[in-house]
Amino acid sequence: METEHGEAAADAGTEGPPGPLVDAAWLASRLTRRGTVVLDASVGAHRAAGRRVPGARRFDIDGVMSDHAVPLPHTMPQADAFAEEMRALGVDGTDTVVVYDTAGIYSSARAWWMLRAMGFDRAAVLDGGLPAWEAAGLPVEALPPGGGGRAGNFTARPRPGALVGSDEVVEALADPGAAVLDARSRGRFAGTEAEPRPGLRGGHMPGAVNLPFAEVQRDGRMLPVDELRAVFEASVEGRERLVVSCGSGVTACVLALGAELAGYGGVAVYDGSWSEWGLPSELPVVTGA
């Protein structure tokens, strides 16, 4: 006998997102379909919006979607813990998941990359986030995002190389075929602007390239593909292997999203990012542009 759960899986399996980025019209046309799950991945002060896309569920990067056993912010949870939280949100392996945040595209890309790192490819980022949704005249609910109600059957299948540590970054910095891109502001990269987290050294990794995440966006939305390609080509200068970093592994994923849209494969996110590299240690740091 087919259950409602089974029907949802069957319906959801017929169509996934057309790519890693979808617009508000695409989501609106599918919002009430069985198998469409919307996740609000806002972090920090951006969580105070007090409204959501109808039916959105909270993907809590600041809370349960980080491994708090590690003394670094926003560390990817272990696969079993991540899968448990996704099942608690009611997500099935055949669902189509759209993630957004209330800032435009900020932390939603982190949620998308986390799903991708766990082997789930039926996920996309809402271009422009909640601001674009509201600008299109689409409805919102004045309720805090909740859970999924019933449990889902999400299964984590970790993808090797999607998230890397400092050892892999050291190797990439020494590899002439690799580029390490830093999504932080130009002031933080140069060491002329104070780090927002106490105890971190200012500056950047020797050989890293600064590409602030805001420079792959315009008005809170990702640049068109041809412009993204031009931005990345100017930054990586022919190198095909990309490692992206930022302050705590969140906005690095905006660069990962941009690189994906621009046609780069094999991108890796440095999960510890500057929250790890910038700590007092033997990891090298330089200043200046």
Q: Would you say how long the chain is, in residues?
A: 289
Active site residue 246: yes
- Phi then psi dihedrals of residue 31, to 5 deg: -60, -40
Catalytic residue among 246, 252, 254, 261: 246
Whether residue 263 contacts residue 229, with contact meaning beta carbons closer than 8 Å, is answered with yes
Tell the burial category of 232 from Cβ atoms under 10 Å away from its Cβ (0-12, 13-18, 19+).
Answer: buried
DSSP H helices, the chain, are: 4-12, 24-30, 79-88, 108-117, 129-135, 166-173, 186-190, 225-236, 252-262, 273-277
DSSP β-ladder status, 36-40 and 57-58: parallel
DSSP β-ladder status, 221-222 and 217-218: antiparallel
Compute the distance between CA of residue 203 and CA of residue 252 in angstroms, rounded to an integer.
Answer: 16
Catalytic residues: 246
